[in-house]
Amino acid sequence: MLQLGDEVTLYSVVFVVVLLGTRSAVWTTALTVSLYVFVAVFRFPQAPADRAKHILHPARGGHGSGKVSAIAHRGGAHDAPENTLAAIREASQNGATGVELDLEFSADGVPILMHDDTVDRTTNGSGPLSKIRFADLRKLDAAAKHRLRSKYSGEKIPTLEEAVEECIRLQLTIYFDVKSHPDEAAAALKALYKKNPVLYNSSIVCSFEPKVIYRMRQSDPGVVTALTHRPWSLSHLGDGVPRFSSPWKLGWMTLLDVVLDWALHHVLWRFCGVSAFLIQKNFVSQDYVQYWANRGVEVVAWTINTKMEKEFYQEIMHVSYITDSLLEDCEPHY
Ligand SMILES: *[C@@H]1O[C@H](CO)[C@@H](O)[C@H](O)[C@H]1NC(C)=O
Ligand SMILES: *[C@@H]1O[C@H](CO)[C@@H](O)[C@H](O)[C@H]1NC(C)=O
């Protein structure tokens, strides 16, 4: 029922806006019907609900009475150097249900794990990934900037394949976070799923970019996917600081934030056929979780870094969460 309500609202809004713009009932009707047909033809259905449930609530590794998933952010960036095999092993040892890993590419196109598009923040190297070949990336120390660098010294940047093999061996769920390169990422992930079919039941592809998710579903509609969102992300940084000093630019981006937020909640999620919505924790409420539950979509909160918050999500909200540490309270890793 609610889904029908969404659709009526969407097409009513489009109808009114186009009517105001064109002042022609014929054009307005034609455009609204075309949009309806376009969405109906090009949208992807959600992946089967039982498979999504298997991934989001695996039988093993549930936390608390809600049996929710605790997912180690970048493999657990606080407990070990982010996006490394050491982090994956540490997360498994500390009882994580799964890991969130960031997909990037070396200059020569090898899929690797890295969050940023430069190596400066995490390794002892410097420069953009787009300029460094895999053989040279491999010489860097991926633990160089971590608070526990002496313990993990010499840890390498792993390939996507190495990381996935380690996760499969340890029976960890994988949340692949893809920020860019929609075509390359979809191709790399498709090959990976083909080689390791267990991933269809144990991993989910997530992105802030609807284009990335749409591209993934196009190349393999069997893959379970999620959209990631932080309201006001176009105009403000994660810590609430405005991204732009010019009030005009800030105002414009704030307006785009409103449009993006509306589109994600009403159109884009369905166009992509996502099974989950990964949302910044400040925006999670019982009503919000219910909104998505009515649409067959599961909410995952990020980033939950204190014991008190974890208990709240496990016991009261029954919502899975992404965390920087399985061991102790810590500051968020942006
Ligand atoms: C980074 O550290 C590794 C391992 O200690 C070392 O072999 C490499 O030469 C270092 N690279 C740079 C650019 O300092
Ligand atoms: C995925 O899980 C379903 C049942 O939950 C099972 O029938 C199927 O064989 C599994 N596929 C793989 C590749 O493990």
Q: What percent of the chain has pLDDT over 70?
A: 98
Q: How far apart are the CA of 49 and the centre of ligand 2, in A?
A: 13
Q: Does residue 39 register a pLDDT over 90? A: no
- Could you tell me the pLDDT band of residue 60, with boundaries at 50, 70 and 90? confident
Say if ligand 2 is within 6 A of residue 198 CB. yes
For residue 15, the enclosing domain spans 1-42
Are 4 and 23 in the same domain? Answer: yes
The number of folded domains in the chain is 2
Q: Does residue 42 register a pLDDT over 70? A: yes
Residue entry with tokens 């609430």? 240
Q: Does residue 2 register a pLDDT over 50? A: no
Q: How far apart are the CA of 201 and the centre of ligand 2, in A?
A: 6
Are 22 and 100 in the same domain? Answer: no
Q: How far apart are the CA of 154 and the centre of ligand 1, in A?
A: 8
| Domain contains 155 | yes
d(CA 98, CA 143): 21
- Pick from 278, 276, 270, 292: nearest CA to 45: 270
Q: What is the pTM of this model?
A: 0.92
- Residue 65's pLDDT is 81
Are 314 and 167 in the same domain? Answer: yes
- Could you tell me the pLDDT band of residue 4, with boundaries at 50, 70 and 90? low
| Domain contains 82 | yes
Say if ligand 2 is within 6 A of residue 54 CB. yes
Please state the rounded mean pLDDT for residues 112-131: 97
Are 217 and 175 in the same domain? Answer: yes
Q: Specify the CATH number for the domain of residue 277.
A: 3.20.20.190
Average pLDDT, the chain: 93
| Domain contains 131 | yes
- Pick from 100, 97, 128, 129: nearest CA to 112: 129
Say if ligand 2 is within 6 A of residue 49 CB. no
Are 310 and 297 in the same domain? Answer: yes
Are 6 and 138 in the same domain? Answer: no
Are 24 and 68 in the same domain? Answer: no
Are 225 and 266 in the same domain? Answer: yes
Are 118 and 4 in the same domain? Answer: no
Q: Does residue 1 register a pLDDT over 60? A: no
- pLDDT tens-digit map of 201-223: 999 999 999 999 999 999 999 99
| Domain contains 315 | yes
- Residue 334's pLDDT is 63
| Residues linked to residue 175 through DSSP beta bridges, in sequence order | 100, 204
- Residue 165's pLDDT is 98
Are 148 and 128 in the same domain? Answer: yes
Say if ligand 1 is within 6 A of residue 243 CB. no
| Domain contains 330 | no
Q: What sign does the CA torsion over 234, 235, 237, 243 have?
A: positive
| Domain contains 189 | yes
- Residue 21's pLDDT is 86
d(CA 14, CA 55): 36
Say if ligand 2 is within 6 A of residue 193 CB. no
- pLDDT tens-digit map of 222-258: 999 999 999 999 999 988 899 999 999 999 999 999 9
Contacts of 287 by beta carbon, 8 Å cutoff, 6+ apart: none
- pLDDT tens-digit map of 71-101: 999 999 999 999 999 999 999 999 999 999 9
Coil/strand/helix, residue 230: coil
Are 78 and 11 in the same domain? Answer: no
Are 139 and 264 in the same domain? Answer: yes
